[in-house]
Structure 1
Amino acid sequence: MTVSAFRALHHGRAAGDPLVLPGPWDAASARVFADAGFPALATPSAGVAASLGYEDGSTPPDEMFAAVARIVRAVPVPVSADVEGGYGLAPDELVGRILDTGAVGCNLEDSEGHGTLKDPQRHADWLAEVRAAAGDALFINARVDTFLVGAGDPADAVARARLYVAAGADCVYPILAPNKMLPTLREGVEGPLNMAAGPARESVAELARLGATRITFGPGMQRYAMGTIGDLAAALRA
């Protein structure tokens, strides 16, 4: 599937029918999700970091890009890659590194350092440079971290989202936005809206009902899998 087909998955969707993108953390988990019939996947940086033995936000860029490339090679469906804040790479180099993995999309977050929100206009200008470098070759999911490290003000989240869409983002992702905020965000933001769900049908169904366009899971699936393996290990030791 090309990036244009991946982009099309986000548009013209019926109410209550969001695009659900599981979050593989390695090639094996990616195969499981693809074999289950999902049309595309979205890697979580925290889940990949855990699989490589790093804390979230500490994965060396070369290892992250290599991990994404292994996931892409393992499946016949398109993959979007969480590349955190871009690793300090210039826009053209960042775009080149992402495209070299075979990924058709990326997450780019608007916080930095130890949980500090970036200036929204400065970040929007940077996103515009990424869009210019990528042209139409990359689906950009702009993460809005207002509810993660900011004050949780929905007006700030909407203002940031609008700036990022104007800068060329294909979708915005107000990570950890409470479900009750979704109608406000949906009303204030034009275009696809990504929300995070827990690894349960009920969580997905609630976000679908409230108007999410796209649903991802962050590291939730990797942590669920590790919890299940932990239970198995404990049972074997009993």
Structure 2
Amino acid sequence: MTSFRDLHYLETPLLLPNAWDVGSALAFAAAGYTAIGTTSFGIAASTGMPDGGRSSKAATAALAMQLTRLPVHVTTDIEDGYSDDPAEVADYVAELAEIGVAGVNMEDSLNGRLVDPSALAAKVAEVKNRCPDMFVNARIDNYWFKESAYVDAVLRRAGTYAHAGADGIFVPGTMTPEDIQRIAAGIALPVNVLAHPSLTVPALGKLGVRRVSSGSLPYRAAIDAAVRAVEALRDGGVPPTATSYWDMQARLEVFSRAI
């Protein structure tokens, strides 16, 4: 199997589906994806918590422990590392590395605001010192939180994180094609973006993007589909088509036997 790192250097961008539980990950694996990420929003929401605020730490580690039994690369969204202390962040990532996690996302914001880039840089450096093989995707939240949302500000932060040892740069948020192209051209590392509302994955690849994450989109779409399914019944319609109970049960039985 192609290494997780090498998946970022193929001709086409790596399309990374983000799972929130075992069932969603099994479905992505069955669909042929060789790398699966977690979504902090989906994990937090499924436990009744809002995203952010370091609420997904325990649930993310627990899910990663399960997902690393699948024959896929697993990368985890760990918010800002769940601590201000770089050593504590590195401890957490080392635990993930020990169970087979291939990559982590770490963001440069907390409670909806950007933090000083030196804070994330210190965490990146400590993680790479402890876990040199871990693919560290440094997330830059300027566009996500609409704070200093311009290309030069992103590039300055990206340079800081690259110098600290980051392996990739993740810039979520809605951007124009021109901004995406300038950001990708200005960063030597693989650039990751979220699925774009108007640009296809091939179009993003032509702009220089190397990884496209689904983020929380599958979780949110699943919730919408669940509501529509029940509304169809309420309104006198027929049930929507779906993967059968027996097929999903079979996946879970195979998975459970590997425990």
- TM-score (ref. length: structure 2): 0.82
Q: Which residue of 1 aligns with 2:59?
A: 63
Against the structure 1 CA distance between its residues 101 and 224, is the aligned structure 2 distance closer, same or farther, given a 3 Å change threshold? Answer: farther
1:1-238 to structure 2, matched below 5 A, reads 5-11=3-9, 13-14=10-11, 17-58=12-53, 59-73=55-69, 75-88=70-83, 90-112=88-110, 114-136=111-133, 138-149=134-145, 150-180=147-177, 181-198=179-196, 203-238=200-235
SS in structure 2 of the partner of residue 20 of structure 1? strand
Which ranges of structure 1 fall in alignment gaps of 5 or more residues? none
Q: How far apart are the structure 1 equivalents of 2:99 and 2:224?
A: 29
Q: Relative to structure 2, which stretch is displaced further, 43-52 or 64-73?
A: 64-73
Q: Relative to structure 2, which stretch is displaced further, 62-71 or 151-160?
A: 62-71
Q: How far apart are the structure 2 equivalents of 1:231 and 1:225?
A: 10
What's the offset of the Cα at 1:199? 8.5
Give the AA of the match of 1:77. Answer: V
User: What is the Cα-based RMSD across aligned positions, in Å?
Assistant: 1.9
Q: How far apart are the structure 1 equivalents of 2:59 and 2:98?
A: 13
Residue by residue over 1:86-107, the C-alpha shift from the partner in whole angstroms, topping out at 9 and shown as x without a partner, is 1116133122232244311100
Residue by residue over 1:115-160, the C-alpha shift from the partner in whole angstroms, topping out at 9 and shown as x without a partner, is 2211112321221111111122x11010001112222021010111
Q: Which residue of 1 aligns with 2:240?
A: none
CA contact (8 A) 1:141 1:169 kept: yes
Q: How far apart are the structure 1 equivalents of 2:48 and 2:197?
A: 22
- TM-score (ref. length: structure 1): 0.89
Residue by residue over 1:21-43, the C-alpha shift from the partner in whole angstroms, topping out at 9 and shown as x without a partner, is 11111111111111111121111
Higher gyration radius (CA)? 2
Q: How far apart are the structure 2 equivalents of 1:220 and 1:104?
A: 22
The structure with higher relative contact order (CA 8 Å, sep 6+) is: 1
Runs of 4+ in 1 over 3 A off after TM superposition: none
Q: Percent identity?
A: 35
Which ranges of structure 2 fall in alignment gaps of 5 or more residues? 236-259
CA contact (8 A) 1:199 1:217 kept: no
